[in-house]
Amino acid sequence: MKNKKIAGDNINTQDSNWKFSGETVVNFNEHVKKSVPLYIKGHELTCNLSKFFVKNDSIVYEIGCSTGVLTNKLSDANNLKSNAQFIGIDVEKDMINYANLNLADNKKNISFKHANINSVKLKKSDLVVCYYTIQFISPSERQQVIDKLFESLNWGGALIMFEKVRAPDARFQDIINTLYLNYKLDQGYSGENIISKMMSLKGILEPFSTQGNIDLLKRAGFEDIVSIQKYLSFEGFLAIK
C-alpha cells in the first residue's frame, strides 16, 4: 500500500483516505474507545436517555451504527418495551456485515441495514441516535440529513447526537488540541500514530463548532436543544421535536 502508515491498534492509513471498511472493522471497537474520551460513558448516557423516549412499538434508528454495539445496548436498555424495533444503518457494508454476524441473530428486535442516509427511506420514529456520525458527512449535505432526521421523528421524539466540535476561537482551539494530544499519548499512541491518524482524516472528518451544530438543529426545526456531555472537543446534544 503506497504511503501506508499506522494509526495504532493495527489500523493502516493513508493520507486523506481514512476508511471504516476492511481491516478497520475488526479493530474499530478497541480503537474508538481509546481515541474518543468518555466514549463508553456516552453509550451509557445515550441508553439512559433513551428510556425517556422509547415506548412500546417504537422505532429507534442509529445512523452510522458501525459494528452495532450501541444499537445492541439500546435494545438491552429498553428490553421491557414490547415490540420496539432498533434499526442500525451504516454506509459501510463491511460494518453491517460485522454487525449482522455478531449481533443481529441474537435478538429479533434488532436489524442492520447497509444504506446511505441520503437515500434511505425512514419510518416514523421516537428516537434517532447519531453517535459521532454527522461529522463524517459532507458539510454540503449535512443540513439535508438533519432535516430528514427531524422529519422522521414523531412529535416529542428526540435526536441524540454526539460530535467532535471545533472551539469558538483559535486560542481555545490551540489549548484543546494540545490537551487532546496529551490524552492520546496517555492512551499509549505514539507520535507517529497520532500524526498518521490526523493526516488520514484530512477532508474526511469536518467538525463544526458547538454553535454550528446547534444552528444545524435549529434550522431543521428543533427548538429544545441541550448539551448533555462535553469533554474537550467532544460533545453530546439532545434535541427534542
Q: What is the pLDDT of residue 186?
A: 95
Q: What is the pLDDT of residue 31?
A: 86
Q: Are 49 and 237 in contact (CB under 8 A)?
A: no
| N residues, the chain | 241
Q: Which of 94-98, 131-135, 229-233 has the lowest mean pLDDT?
A: 94-98
Q: Partners of 208 in the beta sheet?
A: 165
Q: DSSP code of 211?
A: H
**pLDDT mean over 61-74:** 96
* Average pLDDT of the segment spanning 49-69: 97
What CA–CA distance (Å, rounded) separates 115 from 53? 25
160 compared with 18, residue with greater pLDDT: 160
Q: What's the whole-number average pLDDT of the chain? A: 91
Return the pLDDT at 239.
Answer: 98
- What residue segments make up the domains of the chain, in order of their start? 5-240
pTM listed for this prediction: 0.93
pLDDT at 17 over 70: no
Please enumerate in sequence order all residues whose Cβ is within 8 A of that of 134, keeping only pairs 6 or more positions apart, or say none. 64, 142, 145, 146, 161, 163, 213, 216
- Topology adopted by domain 5-240: Rossmann fold (3.40.50)
pLDDT score at 5: 55
pLDDT tens-digit readout, 180-227: 999 999 999 888 888 888 888 888 899 999 999 999 999 999 999 999
Average pLDDT over residues 51-63: 97
Of 13-22, 24-33, 61-70, which range is least confident?
Answer: 13-22
Task: Name the more confident of 104 and 12.
Answer: 12
The pLDDT value given to residue 2: 44
Helices assigned H by DSSP within 103-169: 139-152
How far apart are the C-alpha atoms of 239 and 218, rounded to whole Å? Answer: 9
DSSP 3-state of 232:
coil
* pLDDT class of 108 with cuts at 50, 70, 90: confident
